[in-house]
Each structure stands twice: as structure tokens, then as C-alpha cells.
Amino acid sequence: MKKLIQTIKNIFKIEELRTRILYTLGLLVIYRLGSFIVLPGIDSAQLATLQQSSSEGLVGLLNMFSGGAFGNASIFALGVMPYISASIVIQLLGIFVPYFRKLQMEGESGRRKMNQYTRFLTIAIICIQGPAYMANLHQQIPASAFVAVNQLGWSNFWFNLVSTFILLGGTMFVMWLGERITDRGIGNGVSLIIMVGIIARLPFAFTAEFLEKVSSNVGGGLLIFIVELVILFFVFIAGIALLQAVRKVPVQYAKRVIGNKQYGGVRQYIPLKLNAAGVMPIIFAQALMLFPLIFSQFDATRGFAATMSNYTGFWYNITFFILVVLFTYFYTAVTVNPTMMAEEMRKNGGFVPGVKPGKKTAEYIDTIMSRVTLPGAIFLGFIAILPAFAMLCGVNNQFASFYGGTSLLILVGVVLDTLQQIESHLLMRHYDGLMKTGRLKGRSGM
């Protein structure tokens, strides 16, 4: 405890670090305040039906990502999910379209152009999701809640159009907050915004589960609730341990199968990661799983949309699992370039024993990377569908989302990332880090 207090004092002794932390907290507070600002022309007192429907299934997950803004009919209702969806498409284009592949190879200038295209595509996605969200509002809340239509005489078309533009502005503002946090704050901005939204829903999920267990007719409801809390604690600790382990396990494997870069007679190793993609695959897959909700208004039978929105259903979970595995391989292929690694080894005089330099080395590294990525992809897929098993065991659907899945990985991953940046600032100023021994191992940023 004394060491923790001293570390906190050291953090606030560093002016730059103190400024970055306070700046980050200030922007996050602005984001949380904005999530309670209801769209103009809607009576906030009549949103109880929307909030109730937004606590279940995939809509509940989207509401959790937005920190409750979705269920509040807020100006930030769409959150950063349109931006994440646009990022998926742009990165896919980087593989299949030569122009975008060339931009990926141009360094900082190419990254800026791709970010610009991502913003344009985000606007296009909001133009689809905005009207879909407004159509959902008209179905979920009473007609009397639309004050602008009933009292000011607006038509539904103009009200939906204006509201879509407001939602567009809200999402772009949230994106701007995320970029400001990344540039001038601490941690990754978009990741922190998602994490804050998840944490904001935790008290509501905790209360809902507690009331459900206490009011249930089954004996020992309170005892069951305590057991669930203990399990949740160990799941969280296990998540931290596993995310740390997937960075350490491959090192020995890499020493055995990949070699051996030699500099002045000194043998070095290329550490490969079981999970080089972090939590991005599970976020990308979750974004795609939300698409059936967008087109549910056009599904006359609601069969496909209902099947893919059943949080505990077989087809939803098997599809989600497969998407996570595929995106893990895809994102690893984007972030880890075997050809570039082989070329760097050749330039520095390194080699893999028994493998020819150049193309053969790149193929060898690619094969090993594919084998190493498989257990990491299966691990992510299993974590992604854990909440479904928790709900099948009787846990409230709001509370079950914290027993694994996107919520757990984002919370753990973002906390590790942010602590790693703080520790880097401390070590640069010759202060003790956050860990007694060794460096804190965070994942790559989102």
C-alpha cells in the first residue's frame, strides 16, 4: 500500500504526465455528460420503454458500448461503432485493393490518407445507421414522446433527417475526442471511450443482477449472487493472466523454431505472439454481428435478424466464434509482415538456420506465424462466447456480458495499455514503475 501511494505521488510529480492524465479525464467527463443529452424534440420522460428494450441481446451490447447513450436517445447514441465498422472495411480494402495496399506502404502520409477515407466512410455508415436508429425509436417509444412532431408540427421525415444529422455530428465529435486523447492525453482515445462506456453500465448490471437474485423464489439467491461475484473476480484476474501469458509463451517457441539473428556473433531471437492482434478481432467481429439489427426493418419475416440477434443461440455464437478466429488471422496478417521481417534480417546479416534468406525465410516465418496464431485465435473466440454460457447458467444478461466477451477483453486490455504508458513515463523520469520487478507487459494499442 505504501508503494502504491508513493507511485501515485510520483505520477503527479511529473508535470507532463499529470497534465496528460487530467486532460484525458476532462475529455472523458465531457463524453459522459454528452451521453445524457437527449435528441432535441424528444420527451426524455417517456424513454422507459426504449431503456428497457436496450438492456437485452445485441441491442443491450450496443447500449453498453455507448455507455447507455443508445438507450437514452442521446446525441451520442451511435457512439464509435460506425467508426469501427468503417475501419474494418478500409483495412479489408488494404488487402484486396492495390491502391489501399500502396497507401499502407507509404508510412505516415499513407496512414493519414487512410484515416481520411475512414472518416468519409464513417459518414456514409451513419447515413444508414441513423435512419435505422430513428425507425427503431418510432417503434419503441410512444408517439407522444416526439414533441417536435406533435406540438411543433414537424413531419416525421424532417424530424428524422434533422436527428440523423445530429447523430452524425455526435459521432464525429466522439471521434474527435478520441483523437485528442490519443494525441495529447494518455492511452488510446477510442479504446478509453469504449472502456468508460462499459464501466458506466457495470453499476446498472450489478444492481439488476442483485435485485433479480434477492427477489427470486429460489432459495439461497443472495448466496448465488456472492458466488457469481467471486467467479467474476477470478475471471477478471484470469483474463489479465492469460493476456500476459500469450505474450510470454511464444518466446520459447520462437527460440526453437526461428532463429537466430546474429549481430557481431551475438544470437538474438524473434519473439512471436500468440495474439499479435490484441482485442481488435473481437471488436471487429462484434461490429459485424450488429449489422442484422440495421437491416431488421427490411426483413419481412424477421427470421434472419431474429436468429442472428439471439445472444444465446447456436448460430449467433458459432458465427461470432468463426468471425473472431478469421479476424485474428486477418489482423495479424495486416500488422505482421513476414516479407518485411525477412528483408530486415537479410539487411542486418541475420538468418534462420537451415533456411535460405529472402523469399524462403518469409515463407518460413509466415508458416510459423500461422501455427502460433491458431491457439491465440481459439482463445479469443472462446472468450467471446463466454457470456452466452453465463446466461444459460441463469446470470442476468446485462451482468453476464462481464463474464468474458468483448467487455472483459476491452477492460483488461485498455487498462494494461494505459498502465504501460504511465509506467514508461515513470521509468523515463527515473522513478519506480508500477510493477516491483520487470516491465509491465501491455498489448498493442487499438
**What's 230's domain CATH number?**
1.10.3370.10
Residue 422 sits in the same domain as residue 289: yes
Residue 171 sits in the same domain as residue 213: no
Asked if residue 119 is part of any domain, the answer here is yes
**Start-to-end Cα distance in the chain:** 31
Residue 416 sits in the same domain as residue 383: yes
> Phi, psi at residue 266, to the nearest 5°?
-95, 125
Asked if residue 195 is part of any domain, the answer here is no
pLDDT value for 272: 63
Q: Read off the pTM.
A: 0.74
Residue 168 sits in the same domain as residue 215: no
Residue 160 sits in the same domain as residue 215: no
Asked if residue 112 is part of any domain, the answer here is yes
pLDDT value for 26: 93
Q: How many domains does the chain have?
A: 2
Asked if residue 280 is part of any domain, the answer here is yes
pLDDT value for 27: 93
pLDDT value for 296: 56
| DSSP H or E segment with residue 53 | helix 48-53
CB 362 within 8 A of CB 339: yes
Residue 208 sits in the same domain as residue 149: no
Asked if residue 191 is part of any domain, the answer here is no
Asked if residue 23 is part of any domain, the answer here is no
Residue 208 sits in the same domain as residue 321: yes
pLDDT digit of tens for each residue in the chain (446 aa)? 566 676 677 777 778 888 888 999 999 999 999 988 988 888 888 787 777 766 665 666 677 777 778 888 889 988 888 888 888 788 778 777 888 878 877 777 888 888 899 999 999 999 988 888 888 888 888 888 888 887 777 888 888 999 999 999 999 999 999 989 988 888 888 888 888 888 887 888 888 788 877 777 665 677 888 888 888 777 777 666 665 555 444 444 444 444 444 444 445 556 566 666 666 777 778 777 776 665 555 554 456 666 776 777 788 888 888 988 888 887 777 777 777 777 777 777 767 777 777 788 788 877 877 777 888 788 788 888 888 888 888 777 777 777 766 677 777 777 777 877 887 777 776 655 555 444 554 444 44
> Phi, psi at residue 38, to the nearest 5°?
-75, 150
Give whole-number Cα distances, 229 to 195, 204, 395, 401, in Å.
20, 15, 11, 13
The sign of the dihedral angle between the CA atoms of 33, 39, 44, 46 is negative
Q: In the listed set 185, 219, 238, which residue is the last one of a domain according to the structure?
A: 185
Residue 273 sits in the same domain as residue 174: no
Asked if residue 318 is part of any domain, the answer here is yes
Residue 285 sits in the same domain as residue 386: yes
Domain that holds residue 341: 201-446
Residue 106 sits in the same domain as residue 227: no
Mean pLDDT, all residues of the chain: 76
Determine how many CB atoms are found less than 10 A away from the CB of residue 270.
Answer: 20
Residue 228 sits in the same domain as residue 375: yes
Asked if residue 18 is part of any domain, the answer here is no
Q: In the listed set 185, 218, 243, which residue is the last one of a domain according to the structure?
A: 185
